[in-house]
Chains A and B, each alone.
Chain A
Amino acid sequence: MDDIIRLENLVKIYDTGAVRVLGLDTINLSIKKGEFVSIMGHSGSGKSTLMNILGCLDRPTLGNYYLDGVSIRDMGSDELSRIRNRKIGCVFQSFNLISRMSIEKNVEIPMIYARKRPAERRNRAIELLTKVGLRERLWHQPNELSGGQRQRVAIARALANDPPLILADEPTGNLDSGASVEIMELFARLHREGATVVVVTHEENIAAYTRRIITFSDGKLISDRINENPTGFSEHSDLCERIS
């Protein structure tokens, strides 16, 4: 039972009044602790719907979602907030940093909601920003950073409460190829350090970084394969060194 994610006959139906749309059709899926997984699919394939459910932002219509062994089906919204806060680190396509706060403060946000003490929050934020190579930028505002740097701040923020699951929704969607490589290398490194990372993407070369690639189409899981030869384990080792 070291599944971090387990989906049992999960169904999501969108009821817009006039039309009922089947968002996810009977998904069964397990992701173990420490896996590095990508979820692929074209737009409308159901991958975003799955992402929302995995991120505890939405609930399944039918079936069960066990996160870290706990079913979220009957949780209230405050309980879900707590789960999102402690168990999940979210990374978004457009970074979603709060613009009028320093990046250090941005990293503190999940810890504020976890009711951690100010000194503890600060130390942890500095530690994480050091880890993603932004030690010198603590007091900068997000708009003073490049896209890649901003996404690194967002990753540091996702790690703030040391969650067992990192969920990234198209994390390289707004980045140029250089920055994309940088971010995927960072995820690969986190994976090597033991984190469970799930990346949603529609780009083959991004998915290529992960060890397991799950493909969705029309709300159905159509393929689940192991990537024997993931990108980034040898070629970019110099970059890995630089970041760490």
Chain B
Amino acid sequence: MLLENMKMAFSALKANKMRSFLTMLGIIIGIGSVIAIVSIGDTMRKMFTDLYKDVGLTQAFIQPGYWLEDVRLSDYFTMDDIEKLKDIFGEDIEYIDSSPSVSGEVTVGRRKKNFNLNGIDFNYIDVQPVDIVYGRYINEGDVKGRKQNAVMEIEAAKEMFGSENAVGKTFRMTVYGSVMEFNIVGVYRKDMSPFQKLMMGTGNGTGEAFIPWTLLTWPNDNFYSIRYFADTDLDERSLSALNSEIVSYIARSKGRTSEDFYFSTAAEEMGAVDSVLGGVSAAVGGIAAISLLVGGIGIMNIMLVSVTERTREIGTRKALGATTGDIMIQFLTESAVLSAVGGTIGVMLAVGLVSLGGMLFSLEVVIKPAVILMAVGFSAVVGIFFGIYPAKKAASKDPIIALRYE
């Protein structure tokens, strides 16, 4: 009987192809946009999560609070502070520096290019791995001796020096008002997705190079921030305990309270970004779901027309023995099929478009099966819900009047 109803529904929908398609369009667009929006949102969340994972989720920053009105010179950090932190928390900290960077124009012969010079310690490669293609990484001697050595990113090296192997070449850049000459001791490559490049500020014509962080502690070896990477083996609780211990130690050593310092971790930031993105995609998805409602009303509308048009058919079927329930189910099946077919087309369309977009931007798209199931289920519910009234109207027709209907 159900099969028979399905067949009847399909033949009824086929009889009015254009009308059925236009009616489905509402559901197609509704379902399609809900899935597309939620999938785009999920894809972006994954991109950000990956980005933060790449940056290192245990990474943390400490600065004197920007809200302080009485910042003293002693609130700034010194090399000594870093050494003490290493001594006390060394076991749980993998890496620590002042996270310095400078940017400016680098000139080599006729070639000019903007560069970010990132100050790092020799073991930065442990927390932010790169491939050393030529030469070597920044070593302990470079850091301790404040040597003007640099490790340059391979694309930038190629652009500046015409060949990838720029080891032994030099370049100049103005740092803190005076010109410094750097020797290139190594060339590295870091594989990044286009999105990472975009977010990291590379790929837009700015070159990257690493230099010893001790070159960037101007003036007077004072600096405004400390960053560290905690051991990635720490569980969440010990990590947050470590973080608060470090903050309170610093506060104590500066004669302040923990509340006077600005502290943030990559994990926290990631959580914030993630929840904002999640909220935005839920909100936009919700708005898109309204179009589903509109689609449902479209179905109800066309079913009402169909019931009126087929009054005689309904009368005939009743005269031939159809019960009220039979007629009700026939029309309900029809609206549910209309909606489910529309929903399926919508899903295929959305998945196709999102995948195509992912291919174009070489992104790994996230399409959750749960979202598809929910959308299709919702469309079937919409079809049945908005089909109830027309089906009831059909089923309650008096066969005598229905048979006489012209």
Contacts and interface: CB of A to CB of B under 8 A. Distances in A.
Contacts of B400: 52, 57-58
A57 B326 CA distance: 16
A100 B12 contact: yes
A56 B324 CA distance: 15
A81 B15 contact: no
Interface stretch (A110-118, A197-205, A215-223): A110-118
Interface string B110-135: 00000000000000000000000000
A90 B319 contact: yes
Please indicate which of the listed interface residues A55, A78, A98, A161 has the most CB atoms of chain B within 10 Å of its own CB: A98
Contact of A113 (B11, B315, B326, B403): B326
Given A100-B12, A115-B1, A92 B403 contact: yes
Nearest to B326: A113
A227 B69 CA distance: 119
Interface in A77-113: 77-78, 81-82, 84-86, 90, 92, 96, 98, 100-101, 109-110, 112-113
Contacts of A115: 1
Interface residues of A, number: 26
B324 A82 contact: no
A86 B321 contact: yes
A110 B321 CA distance: 6
B319 A84 contact: yes
A212 interface: no
A157 interface: yes
Interface in B1-34: 1, 4, 11-12, 14-15
Contacts of B264: none
A85 B323 CA distance: 9
B323 A81 contact: yes
A80 to B, nearest CB: 9
Contacts of B325: 78
A109 B319 contact: no
Given A58-B400, A98-B313, A81 B318 contact: yes
B316 A81 contact: no
A100 B319 contact: no
Contacts of A101: 11
A96 B313 CA distance: 7
B316 A96 contact: yes
B321 A85 contact: yes
A57 B320 CA distance: 10
Of B12, B316, B318, most A-chain CB atoms within 10 Å: B316
Contact of A81 (B1, B14, B313, B322): B322
A113 B322 contact: yes
Given A112-B1, A113-B326, A115-B1, A96 B403 contact: yes
Contacts of A86: 321
B325 to A, nearest CB: 7
B12 to A, nearest CB: 7
B120 to A, nearest CB: 75
A113 B14 CA distance: 23
Contacts of A90: 319-320
Contacts of B323: 77-78, 81-82, 113
A90 B322 CA distance: 13
Interface in B359-405: 399-400, 403
Interface of B: 1, 4, 11-12, 14-15, 312-313, 315-326, 399-400, 403
Given A57-B319, A92-B316, 11 more contacts: A57-B400, A78-B323, A81-B324, A81-B326, A82-B321, A92-B319, A96-B319, A100-B14, A110-B320, A110-B321, A113-B320
Across the A-B interface, the 5 shortest Cβ-Cβ residue pairs: A85-B321, A100-B15, A96-B316, A113-B321, A81-B323
25 contacts: A52-B400, A57-B318, A57-B319, A58-B400, A77-B324, A78-B324, A78-B325, A81-B321, A82-B321, A84-B321, A85-B322, A90-B320, A92-B319, A96-B312, A96-B316, A100-B11, A101-B11, A109-B317, A110-B320, A112-B4, A113-B317, A113-B321, A113-B326, A114-B321, A115-B1
Interface of A: 52, 55, 57-58, 77-78, 81-82, 84-86, 90, 92, 96, 98, 100-101, 109-110, 112-115, 118, 157, 161
